[in-house]
Amino acid sequence: MKVESFGVRTQNYSATFKHETVEEFVRGDKRGAQIARERGIDYSTLRKWRLEYDTRGVEAWTKPNGGPSTSEDKIAQLERVIGQLTVENLVLKKALTLARSAPKPSMTSSTP
């Protein structure tokens, strides 16, 4: 049985586009599905980019997968990870503050 390709074309996105998209996702202002829809990408692609970004930072799209070549590169990569984690912590703290300040549903008893 012969399997034919139906002209499926993969899109190549710039490192800048990927970085901006992932940063928008990390900030948490919008849901991932909304960001994917607005930017014309699949949600699974956005999740994949996020994992790449969490692992290797911006280098995920700009350098070969060989990893940092010098100790300065390694330090720069670790500083980026610290920055990413700081942003994520700020988002989580904001979400926690909002969740705590949300009005609680009233628990009224209707005893006859």
pLDDT digits (tens, 9 = 90+) for 17-33: 998 999 899 888 889 99
Q: By C-alpha distance, which of 50, 10, 45, 43 is closest to 26? A: 50
Q: For residues 27 and 87, what is the distance between their CA atoms, to the nearest angstrom? A: 7
pLDDT digits (tens, 9 = 90+) for 46-56: 999 999 888 88
| Residues written for the chain | 112
pTM: 0.49
Hunting for tokens 């998209």 — which residue is that?
21
In the chain, what are the domain boundaries?
15-100
Fold annotation for 15-100: Arc Repressor Mutant, subunit A (1.10.10)
